[in-house]
Structure 1
Amino acid sequence: MSDLIPKNVDLAKVKLSPKGFIQLVLALVVVFAAVEIARWLIGKIRNVGRKTGGQLVAV
């Protein structure tokens, strides 16, 4: 977990600031959601490609 936090961030300030903590949680949620959406879209593209005889190619 400590590897995910940039070295220049002061952990004391992050822990003492509820706003900073909320922003950190929101950032993690946004990243997680973006990854899930990307995986879902790639899966859809690949499925469509199979159904149409492989004309669409997922990058």
Structure 2
Amino acid sequence: MAKRKSPSKAQDKVEETVKTFSLPVPLREDLIVAIENLPRDLSEEEADRIATIIKSFAIKQ
């Protein structure tokens, strides 16, 4: 099993400076999904990556 390396202190400082927000998404009449820690400067490429991951969990009806 591969071990993950701990992030360096420099990486911690970079992550702390990223401004993020939470996005409540009314999905169904009785369900609101919260997407957390989205960067305020989210790019289209990053948004597409997130959308692709979410689509992979969908059940075809």
Q: Same fold (TM over 0.5)?
A: no
Q: TM-score, normalised by structure 1?
A: 0.38
Q: TM-score, normalised by structure 2?
A: 0.37
Computing the radius of gyration over CA atoms, which structure comes out larger, 1 or 2? Answer: 1
Structure with greater strand percent: 2
